[in-house]
Structure 1
Amino acid sequence: MSDEPLKRREIAAPDAPPAPAGYAQALEVTGATRTLWISGQVPLDAARKAPEGFDAQARQVWSNVEAQLRAAGYTLDHLVKVTTWLADRSLAGEYRAIRAEVLGDRRPTMTTLVAEMFDPGWLLEVEAVAQA
C-alpha cells in the first residue's frame, strides 16, 4: 500500500450544468491503493426479510451498503460512486432526503435511475464504489 494519503478533488466543469445538491459531478481520487466494488444492495435484512414502506427499505439498503464497507475496512467516507435504482420516480424526493441524512456532507458521484426491480416488493437498489 502507498503511504500517500487519499485525496479527493471535486470537479465541476464551468461549461456543463452544476450538480443540484448532495453529490459531485466528477471526483478525482489520488493516493488510493484499494478499490471496493459493492454489488447492488437490496432492501433485505440478514434473515432475507424486506421491511414495509420506502423509508424502511431505503434505510435497510444503506445499512447493507455500510455493512459491506465495514466488512472490508472502509467507511462512508471512502465512497466515490453511488448508483441507485428506484422502482418509481415519485420516490426520488424521499430518497434524496434519506440519502442526505445518511451521507451528511459526503459528496460521492451519483447516478439515479428509475427501473423495474428484480423483486416487485423491492422499491430500490443501491450499488457503490469505494476507494482507500
Structure 2
Amino acid sequence: MSTIIHASAAPKFPLPFSHAVRAGDLVYVAGQVGVDPQTLEPIGGIKEQTEQCIRNIEVILQEAGLTLDHIVKVTTHLARVEDQPEYNEVYAQMIKQPYPARITVFSGLGPYLIEMEVLAYAPSIRGE
C-alpha cells in the first residue's frame, strides 16, 4: 500500500503529480525545481536555485517524518553543463557525507536551471 504526501510549505504547481509517495520503507519525492514556494518563480542563478530546490525537497521529506540524511538516491537535471561546478558546491554543503548515489543529466528545463528528484529510505539514515 502507498501513501500520498503533500507538504503545505512546498511549491504547489497546477500539474498532475504528488509531492511524494511512500511505498513501504521508501519515499519517492517528485522532481522539485528552485522556485519560491509562494510565487513559483525561479530564484536567482544556479547556486540559489540549487539551494531552494534542496530546501523544497527537505520540507517534503519533513512532512514524511524524514530528513535529507534519509536520501539514498538523487537524480538531478541541469539546464546548462557549465552550471555543474556551482551545483556540486552547493550540493556538497547541503547534503552530508556519506553521499547518496547520484546521477546528473542535462535537460531542457524551460525557465528552470535545475530539477531534482530523490528516493529516501525511512528506517535509517545513510551510513548507519
Per the TM superposition, whether the score is higher than 0.5 is yes
Compute the displacement of 1:106 (Å): 3.2
Return the alpha-carbon distance in structure 1 between the equivalents of residues 32 and 98 of structure 2: 19
Q: Which residue number in structure 1 is paired with residue 37 of structure 2?
A: 46
2:99 alignment counterpart: 107
- For these two proteins, the number of residue pairs brought into alignment is 98
Distance, in Å, in 2 between the alignment partners of 1:106 and 1:38 is 20
Alignment pair present for 1:130 and 2:120: yes
Greater mean deviation of Cα atoms: 103-112 or 67-76: 103-112
1:67 is matched with which residue: 36, 56, 59?
59
Which residue of structure 1 aligns with residue 27 of structure 2?
Answer: 36
Q: Which amino acid aligns with 1:126?
A: M
Q: Percent of aligned positions with the same letter in both sequences?
A: 34
Structure 1 unpaired stretches of 5+: 1-32
Partner of 2:13: none
Deviation per residue, 1:43-87 (Å, 9 max, x gap): 122211221211111111010111111010001111010000000
Counterparts of 1:78 and 1:54, CA distance in 2: 24
Residue matched to 1:116: 108
TM-score (normalised: structure 2): 0.73
Aligned partners of 2:70 and 2:120 also within 8 Å: yes
**CA RMSD in angstroms, aligned pairs only:** 1.1
Counterparts of 1:67-86 in structure 2 under 5 Å? Answer: 67-86=59-78
What is the TM-score with the length of structure 1 in the denominator?
A: 0.71
Partner of residue 58, structure 1:
50
For the residue of structure 2 that corresponds to 1:122, the secondary structure is: coil
SS of residue in 2 equivalent to 1:40: strand
Shift of 1:127: 0.2
How far, CA to CA, are the matches of 2:63 and 2:84 in structure 1?
29
